[in-house]
Chain A
Amino acid sequence: MNLENFASSRALSLGVELELQLVSTHDYDLVSSAEDLLRVMARKDVPGEVKPEMTCSMIEVSTGICNDYAKVAEELESLRGALTEAARKLNIGICGGGTHAFQDWSERRIFDKPRFHYLSDLYGYLAKQFTVFGQHVHIGCPGPDAALYLLHGMSRYIPHLVALSASSPYVQGKDTGFQSARLNSVFAFPLSGRAPFVETWQEFEAYFRKMSDTGVVQSMKDFYWDIRPKPEYGTIEVRVMDTPLTVGRAAAIAAYIQAIARYLMIERPIRLSEDDYLVYTFNRFQACRFGFAGTYVHPETHEHCTIAEEIEASFARIEQHAIELGCDGPLGELLRQVREGRNDAAWLRERHTAGASLPELVMDQCARWMGGDAM
């Protein structure tokens, strides 16, 4: 099977997808209400899309194609408003967060759709354990080779994005010690990780053809890479983020990615090399485990610093681009939080340590997401 052609898209256009948790307002455990929520949402006029996901207690919302932060924030906000209204009607809670703090994976039910049943048959319990919630950001690319440059360049920023979005310290009722434990569930999949180091679309097509000939993959959807090209949209899709606890933070993180993309595309500041990936999994692990306090090893100089320091340095590099894109405001707020060591995982731990039980914590998460709190 051949890979479809890389569609053209407006460079630096943005699209955001959020996977969200549906919980019962009685015990705040996950609840299989996706069908009901989708039915109510089908009658509403909202931007973007609301779709089912692997299990019946999650949904995915996505914006349309946006130009900038303001548009993303506006669309996410109106999706949030409509979803909140529908959820109130159905007596369910909707919240962000990369994992549900105490759900029992064996109780999950696969959403009734052929692809989900296929995946469930293929992956067995992994499919149900995959009840984790991520934010995906699409960035429009002028062409396929540019997309691959952007993909490999963006790979250096994976730790940054993980630390900024981390919101999954609790899994199955226990503190994992990680800031983003969600990614550990993703790594269990055989085709997870990073894209192969190829710099031209021709080479990428050859790789895909070889993989496809082995019978291991049928389409790009079978790759669970941290960043993957999405030829039919003409975008690359960054998939490492946990779903943040508020849509405000989700929009700010999307803006950060857009500013990095603009910096990479216009300045072409790095020479790509396969060796960039030597430190990739180490850096990513550090971000998942320790967040801002993790160690970042520079792929070229091999210098060590904290992820917080590296994020701060990155803000300096992209500042001009952020101003051009009109997202310097939200990025300033993000930077302030990095300096204070604050992210969603820290917020969750703080609440739980202060005595909130895990069900109460999920209740607070719902209040933050549905109430439209600031990041």
Chain B
Amino acid sequence: MDLLIWPDWPLAPGALFPVAVALVLTALVGEAGGRFGVPRVSGYALAGLVLGPLVLGWFDTNDLAGHRLIIDFTIALVLFELGIRLDLRWLAANRWVVAASAGEMALTFALTYGALWAVGTGAGIALAVAAIAVGTSPVILMHVSNELRAAGQTTDRLLALCALNVAVSVILLKLLVGALHGVHSGWQLALLHPLYLLLGSALAGAVIAAAYLGLRKLVDPATEQGLVAMVALLLAAIALLSALRLPTALAPLFAGALIKWRDRRPHLWPKQFGSLGGILVIVAFMLAGAAVTAGELFAGAAIGLLAIAARALGKLGGAMAFGPPSGLDLRKSIALGVGLMPLSMLALLQAEDVRLLYPEFGARLLPIVIAMTVVLGLLGPIATRRALIRVRETRGGETS
């Protein structure tokens, strides 16, 4: 009797099966949200939390580490697209947009740091949380604005400010944490490391941009082959960036902006790219929930909420102060500030990376960031969506 031809009982379908079920569930929760006017990403984030250690425990932190590449790739893809939407000529033509960005970031950083320092978290944690708070979730912003087919002044600025604050947040955190832990002992290193991060990312971005523009001449990005070429390009970039110990987020963002700068033509993603991106976003959110445990969430909740409040004030204040001279009215300036609320995967990964290098410091930082991303990952997309609908920048006709 050859037993190998008959199935075992009980069935052992392997690891793939629960992943598939989880994926379907995540997609369905997103879809259910969509029916009720809640952005799909909020649904994905919720599903991720439920599937993770917080409720069902289908995924845990090991899964997150094992599938880190998927999340990195998703973020790189989104940042590449976001970079292409960042028109540097515009920033040169309207310096007030740059001022709004700088103001929003400075205020967020100062207020968050101040609030945390005041309640006695210690300067190190306060600085690290403030650096992470500067950023806005690019994945959520792009997803919500694509879902609404948003276009207009507020949308343009939201995306531009997000691109800039992500870049600054990533650099800031690396610098601060490095400095705090004496990595930069001696001024040479303190000067060289930031330079390496910036110039290295810029250079890598230039290489990616050149490769993209070269590829675009050979294959039409709207075809299947073109799609494969673009995906391969970004994958290769991530592999190289990791080997160079450069942040995987910055170079794709720089590359996108350089491409738009070098070639003004519309760089529109083919339809398949959109659906591929959509699947990746669902997978990434499903996995991101694995980082959230109840213990950490509750440990960080109080300070996390304080940081959220301070950050909200900073973003709103910056947008309201510098929005009007940049050509917005007050209503749109407020919408801009509100729209910048989401914080999600990238922040989580930033904190996770800190923990990998400095476990003890990271163990104090992570709960706060987890609490922030849980709240702002669920409610942030709703805020952005409401803001864009309120200023009537959705292209779906009379949505408002």
Contacts and interface: CB of A to CB of B under 8 A. Distances in A.
Contacts of A91: 87, 90, 93-94, 153, 156
B396 A107 contact: yes
A39 B266 contact: no
Contacts of A24: 151, 156
Contact of B392 (A27, A107, A109, A357): A109
A109 B151 contact: no
Nearest to A106: B397
A360 B268 CA distance: 11
A24 B267 CA distance: 13
A88 B266 CA distance: 16
B161 to A, nearest CB: 13
A158 interface: no
B93 A32 contact: no
A183 B262 CA distance: 38
Contacts of B87: 25-26, 91
Interface in B257-314: 264-266, 268
A369 interface: no
A89 interface: yes
A36 interface: yes
Interface in A68-113: 88-91, 106-109
A24 B85 CA distance: 11
A108 B268 CA distance: 21
A90 B151 contact: no
Interface in A328-344: none
B152 A360 contact: no
Interface size class of B (residues with CB under 8 A): 20 to 34
B395 interface: yes
Contacts, number: 70
A280 interface: no
B10 to A, nearest CB: 53
B360 interface: no
Given A36-B153, A91-B156, A26 B327 contact: no
Contacts of A106: 397
Contacts of A56: 392
Interface in A1-55: 24-29, 31-33, 35-36, 39-40
Interface string A171-190: 00000000000000000000
B327 A40 contact: yes
B266 A90 contact: no
Contacts of A89: 93-94, 326-327
A140 interface: no
Contacts of A40: 327
Contact of A31 (B89, B151, B397): B151
Contacts of A29: 151, 395
A88 B93 contact: yes
29 contacts: A24-B151, A26-B151, A27-B266, A31-B151, A31-B152, A32-B151, A32-B393, A33-B153, A36-B152, A36-B327, A36-B328, A40-B327, A88-B90, A89-B93, A89-B94, A89-B326, A91-B90, A91-B93, A91-B94, A91-B153, A106-B397, A107-B396, A108-B397, A109-B392, A109-B398, A359-B268, A363-B264, A363-B265, A363-B266
The 5 closest A-B pairs by CB, nearest first: A91-B90, A359-B266, A88-B93, A107-B395, A89-B94
Interface of B: 85, 87, 89-90, 93-94, 149, 151-153, 156, 264-266, 268, 326-329, 332, 392-393, 395-398
Given A89-B93, A89-B94, A359-B265, 18 more contacts: A25-B87, A26-B151, A32-B395, A33-B153, A36-B153, A36-B327, A36-B329, A40-B327, A88-B93, A89-B326, A90-B94, A91-B90, A91-B93, A106-B397, A107-B396, A108-B397, A109-B392, A359-B268
